[in-house]
Structure 1
Amino acid sequence: MTPSLETRASRRAARHAEAEAAEEIGLTVHDVARDLRRDVAAVRLPLPIEGSAAAEASRDRLLAQLDEHLLPRLKELSSPAVVVVAGSTGAGKSTLYNSLLGEEVSEAGVLRPTTREPVLAHHPADAELVTTGPVTELSRVVQHEGVPRGTALLDAPDLDSFVQENRSTAHQLLEGADLWLFVTTAARYGDALPWQALGRATERGASVAMVLNRVPKETLTTVRGDLLQRLRDHGMTDVPLFVIPDVGPHEGLLEPSVVAPVRRWLTMLAGPDRSRAVIVRTLKGALGALPGWVNSLAEAVEAQREASHVLRRTAEGELPAAEQLARDAVAAGVVAGASVEARWRDLSGAVGVDRVKVRGDRARSTRRAGRAREVALDELRSDVVAAAARTLVAAGARVEERLRAVLAGPGAPAGGEAVVPDGAARAAAREAATGPVVEEWATQADALVAEGMRTGFRTTGGDTTGGDTTGGDTTGGDDAPAEAPAPDDASVARVQAAAKAFGPRGTATLLLASAAGSDDAARVLTRVLGDLADGPVDELRADLADRAAAVVDGEVEAVLDILGAPDLADDAAAGLHVRLAELRRLT
């Protein structure tokens, strides 16, 4: 085969490969990219650990790349290839743009910023192929015979415009383009901006060409050589470079001969097949860049998960000691404080709560006196309930303070400050939840007295119980239901006598006050009930200790609930890993 035939054959093979790639992209990659977009948009990085801010910025750029270029382009491969003319302020973009079209289409001049409105020009014959998307929505779309078929020329605002909106629009349009025609000048090609923009194009796999504008003839060779070397240093040896000499002060369009090389290059790209190949090459480059971004984002999600495990262990590690501290405080009998003692002194002087007569082993009182004591003891009950609520609230507050120290204080694990609940919100929630919990505890005393009046308070093996709260005998093995305890007549009589002297509710209040640590209440109960009072008092004290431990658990659970968010789950990155495998298979 002759060299010319070999060349033609290789070109046919290349076109065939491009066609196959286009078909694959159109049929399969769009679905992968769509699913990827969904999973990337769902990523949240709630813990402010090292690298999370950079990962969030990368996620946002990846979404922009998918929304503004890949998905619209994959959806319609037949639409013209978008060539964006971009550059810095005063580079002559609009003048070059208009000169390529042979007509003033985009506003050009000395005032800055010149390009206030992006302009997208396409050939009239391509009108039906131009798809609606971010580029068309941001631009003024015009038809022009000067645009080669199969391409659409976009004049973008200055990348370094002093108008923030213009800068944002320019970068957004760049993300939506298939090819970047970057314009700079002999005086500014060494600035950071051109190389930042070109690096960004390389990162996302876009095709790039460069126009060096306004080059003085006497320095043309030197400047061109220096710029080519810079391109090689940045790994951009294949980037086409067009040099436009400095034509001096002028208004209007450049001479056709000056922009002829750029026009010929655009014409070479024109036509459905060639523009489709440009699109496919850009898409393949963009798709090839995606796995790195997705992998980096997945690693950031995994880092969040690992940090959450450390925080979870830290929070859970505080639980045993905090629970024990709360239980010990109740067991030590410190719940009843000064307010309960003061109330008892008032009751002792007013209704003689501590002067009930006992003959034999039973309290002696009239029902009328008992009802009076019962009403008076309601004030004591309120004080006991309030004191118990304060104890539980204080237990929760201590744990919250401790959690704040270990999660957000010096030496705390990374990200801990994000999982410490809001102090004011926790305090309000604690106050709201504790009231009903303590009221429920108080009703347990009423139930114990009611049961004791039917079956008595009994002591078995040192464990005193009342009613169905006892560890009573069971028969028929482990699965047989416990039999109701037989009434203890002596105990029943004694409990009923106490209930007559103080009222059932008043007797329950004495049990509550004694369980809370009131020595005065305990002495009265000992006089009227003897050691029968020990069982229900111990039971109520143990129940309050359990409730205090539950409040402590609630503080830790508030942290664990935050750490239990789906964004911190062990499988939070699973979707990204699936998309990553699909991308690697396709690219």
Structure 2
Amino acid sequence: MSISSGRQSQGSAGPSQGTTGASADAAEPHVTVFDVVTDLRRDVAAVELPLAIDGADDAAGQRSRLVDQLDDHLLPRLKELSSPAVVVIAGSTGAGKSTLLNSLLHEEVSEASVIRPTTREPVVVYNPQDAEIIEGTPLVATVRSVANVNVPRGIALLDAPDLDSVLDENRETASRLLEGADLWLFVTTAARYGDALPWRTLEGAMERGATVAMVLNRAPKASLTTVRGDLLNRLREHRMESAPLFVVPDAGPHEGLLDASSVAPIERWLRTLGGADRARSVILRTLRGSLAALPPWVDELSEHVEAQHTAAVRLRIATEAALPQVAQATRLVVESGRLALGAVETRWSQVSEPARLDKSISRSGVARGSARRGRSREEHLQGLTDTVREAATAILTVATDDARSALRDALEALPGGRGLVPEVTEAQDDAAAQQAVDAWVEAARADIERVDVAVGKQNASAVRAFGRDGLTAVLLASAVGLAPAEDLLGRLLGNDGRDLSPEVTSRLADAAEAAVLAQALPVLAALDHPALADDAAIGLRVRLAELAQLT
């Protein structure tokens, strides 16, 4: 695979800055590795995982690490291959990383101490002649930088925090810096080389194609042969037999720099990496490994995105199936007349005598009463309207609460369903129900107004004898199933009243059913998230195909 930097502008008549893969037609723009990785970074950063299904948290962490890897290492490297190769000095707590770095540089540039954690601030050290190239790179922007003439040209030494630091921030920084390195100089000791964490970290580095060297620091003379042999066996077991192994003898209790002879082999090895051509070969080898490691990483992330879509489909089916039964049961309650039982019946009996309802129709069947009597009846019947309103509000409130309970039961049994149904307070429920009932009452009053303007002596007499609000109260009581109100409405308005009552009943049933079904809307809106679409992973899949052509 050929690796080049930069991006050729479309329509350029000049030669490409570099291409990868098959030759393209001269009239078409060449696509570089930089192009593909830039597009990959965009699509990976755009990945969203809205549903809390198994693996979603791990996938989110994987996405963040991949973006960091692309930002900190691959894209800067592809954009500017001449930048120094980054050699990260890594290891566990107390391995002596900072002391080793200082000794290699013959100068105290990184704080070394027995107090843990030691490396609080990462330090990158580079040759002064590389300053112009390295300044402004993402690496220098995130760590403290020091120029030192003892660093070979073409490389930069980075002292990273401890892999097993007690501070979360230090561990995260160490992991991020390691993923952006071209070469690892891993420092361990006779007491710590068997720890599991460093080997897991080294395996990850090898999978990404990083070059690794091992330093056995503070090696005790008495057990050096045994420890070195065991360490070499471990390197072979982890397919790292080609990794250089340097041994730094135990200097005993001391402060300051190590003896120059003890670190001389490491110095010589670093100088073999120095120089533009040799450093570039290290960078290219690491880049090839990093690029080859991308497809499995991106493929796994794509599978997580597709798993989100699969979970969303199941949740949508469950949502749409959960509420029709509740809606049907609520409609049945409204249409059966059960709302009239109890409070509405009691209120009717309380207002019948003061409103003289038994004297409201003459022997000829026409409503009896003056406009003054009509105003009096309106006042008495206002309480009936309030009671009907309360009964209707209660059924809508109960229905919406039942709907959310049914939704929760259906969704929380499925992956990703927990928390999809919004939490609603009792006050919010009451307000929504009152709003719907107010609209229902106003619609009934509008019906009575239409009756009032209609031609007919019977209707005009009824409106005069009860007033519009009084007649509306009778209509509402009739609509919720109160038989005496239904009978009175029919006698007052004839067929107009008999036809009107079931219409108003049906409107309330429709409102209750709509209130039930509306509980699914926030859930369905959440499931309409673009990240849950059936083609949400298509961008990542396209990038995988492009990477396959490059590797």
Give a deviation string over 1:251-295, Cα, whole Å, max 9, x none.
Answer: 433333332222222111111222222222212211221211111
Give the CA deviation at 1:146: 0.5
- Does structure 2 retain, via aligned residues, the 8 Å contact 1:389–1:435? yes
Aligned 1:353-364 pairs, distance under 5 A: 353-364=357-368
Match of 2:474 among 510, 535, 538: 510
Sequence identity (%): 53
Match of 1:154 among 152, 158, 166: 158
1:184 corresponds to: 188
1:550 corresponds to: 514
Give a deviation string over 1:28-69, Cα, whole Å, max 9, x none.
Answer: 333333333333233232322222222222222222222332
1:497 corresponds to: 461
1:464 corresponds to: none
2:12 corresponds to: none
- Does structure 1 retain, via aligned residues, the 8 Å contact 2:324–2:517? no
Give the CA deviation at 1:579: 2.4
Correspondence 1:32 to 2:36: yes
1:418 corresponds to: 419
TM-score, reference length from structure 1: 0.84
SS of the equivalent of 2:145 reads strand
Q: Which amino acid aligns with 1:522?
A: E
Moved more, 168-177 or 328-337: 168-177
Correspondence 1:576 to 2:536: no
Moved more, 58-67 or 305-314: 58-67
Match of 1:309 among 310, 313, 319: 313
Q: Which amino acid aligns with 1:440?
A: A
Aligned 1:342-381 pairs, distance under 5 A: 342-381=346-385
Moved more, 427-436 or 492-501: 427-436
Correspondence 1:175 to 2:184: no
Correspondence 1:433 to 2:432: yes
2:9 corresponds to: none
TM-score, reference length from structure 2: 0.90
1:523 corresponds to: 487
Correspondence 1:272 to 2:294: no
Give a deviation string over 1:414-434, Cα, whole Å, max 9, x none.
Answer: 22213222143xx44433322
Relative to 1, partners in 2 of residues 1:60 and 1:501: Cα closer, same or farther, differing over 3 Å? Answer: same
Counterpart-to-counterpart distance in 1, 2:520 and 2:121: 56
- Does structure 1 retain, via aligned residues, the 8 Å contact 2:458–2:493? yes
Counterpart-to-counterpart distance in 2, 1:280 and 1:330: 75
Aligned 1:479-490 pairs, distance under 5 A: none
Give the CA deviation at 1:328: 0.6
Counterpart-to-counterpart distance in 2, 1:516 and 1:97: 86
1:144 corresponds to: 148
Relative to 1, partners in 2 of residues 1:20 and 1:314: Cα closer, same or farther, differing over 3 Å? Answer: closer
2:410 corresponds to: 406
1:391 corresponds to: 395
Q: Which amino acid aligns with 1:444?
A: A
Relative to 1, partners in 2 of residues 1:92 and 1:450: Cα closer, same or farther, differing over 3 Å? Answer: closer
Counterpart-to-counterpart distance in 2, 1:216 and 1:523: 106
Relative to 1, partners in 2 of residues 1:190 and 1:531: Cα closer, same or farther, differing over 3 Å? Answer: same
2:232 corresponds to: 228
Correspondence 1:102 to 2:106: yes
- Does structure 1 retain, via aligned residues, the 8 Å contact 2:124–2:144? yes
Gaps of 5+ in 2: 7-16, 21-29
2:13 corresponds to: none
Gaps of 5+ in 1: 1-13, 456-488
Moved more, 127-136 or 215-224: 215-224
Correspondence 1:80 to 2:84: yes
Aligned length: 532
Relative to 1, partners in 2 of residues 1:365 and 1:75: Cα closer, same or farther, differing over 3 Å? Answer: same
Counterpart-to-counterpart distance in 1, 2:167 and 2:520: 49
1:212 corresponds to: 216
Correspondence 1:197 to 2:201: yes
Counterpart-to-counterpart distance in 1, 2:169 and 2:321: 51
SS of the equivalent of 1:335 reads helix
